[in-house]
Amino acid sequence: MKLAFISDIHGNAIALDAVIRDMKERNVDKIYVLGDISFRGPEPQRSLNLVRSLNCKVIKGNADEWVVRGIEKGEVPDQALGIMTEEREWTFSHLDEDSIKYLGSLPTELTFEVEGVNFHTFHATPNSLFEVIQPFESDDSLSKKLMTREANVYIYAHIHKPYIRYINGKCLINIGSVGLPFDGVNKSSYSIIDINGDGIQTSIVRVDYDVNQVINQFSESDYPNVENMTNVLKNAKL
């Protein structure tokens, strides 16, 4: 059984197209989406439509929560609050009413079992949509913050920096970002877990997409933060 975990699309439907093609080529059996679907990209509605067309389990990310109810003071740096609020309003205005209701209805975590392997998935931490947990934290810190339920595999997103670690015999994966990577590699990132009779195989997959086409989409739109988003896409860093 081959499972794919994707997240942090951020309105980049061109990147999501590429990842969907890649998953089909790899004969993925099941797909799970870990949030942040529409906000901060040029195609919020098409990105959401693509996710919903996958007919898969989806959880909420912090950016989905922002689209629904706005960004509150303290959730982003004070100097970024104004422009990010403008970006949120732009995204909100480019989504239909049903899409807003859909984002608001999403759960914040999933626990499930596939062929004897137990999974716990969430966007940022089991208790927060916003907390940032970096890959360089100690085993003890990661275990206390992220591995709070009994499972074999723990999967999260949010930081846009993919990695795989094993802690006390358990697997911890950050799947990175489909649409807005922050690790200096401007390729989409997602994770595949292949379950077979001998155990599991885990991998981070990087997928090429047309970054310049997405930059052109921003340039041709009335998006309120084009220069910054262009730099992030080019450099794959904040």
Nearest of 32, 217, 8, 227 to residue 129 by alpha carbon: 8
Q: How far apart are CA 9 and CA 177, in angstroms?
A: 6
Helix residue ranges, H only, 26-96: 44-53, 62-69, 78-93
How many CB atoms lie under 10 A from the CB of residue 214?
24
State pTM to two decimals: 0.97
Give the model's pLDDT for residue 197. 81
Q: How far apart are CA 214 and CA 114, in angstroms?
A: 36
Query: pLDDT 10s per residue in the chain (238 long)?
Result: 999 999 999 999 999 999 999 999 999 999 999 999 999 999 999 999 999 999 999 999 999 999 999 999 999 999 999 999 999 999 999 999 999 999 999 999 999 999 999 999 999 999 999 999 999 999 999 999 999 999 999 999 999 999 999 999 999 999 999 999 999 999 999 999 999 987 899 999 999 999 999 999 999 999 999 999 999 999 999 8
| 3-state DSSP assignment of residue 196 | strand
Count of positions (residues) in the chain: 238
Joined together, the tokens standing for residue 211 give 């970054």
Give the model's pLDDT for residue 238. 87
The secondary structure element, H or E, covering residue 122 is strand 117-122
Question: Phi and psi of 191, rounded to 5°?
Answer: -125, 145
Give residue for tokens 């004070």.
78
Nearest of 69, 62, 61 to residue 100 by alpha carbon: 69
* Contact call for residues 157 and 147 (beta carbons, < 8 A): no
Which CATH class, in words, describes the domain spanning 2-235?
Answer: alpha beta
Nearest of 45, 16, 41, 44 to residue 31 by alpha carbon: 16
Q: How far apart are CA 161 and CA 135, in angstroms?
A: 8
The ranges assigned to domains in the chain are 2-235
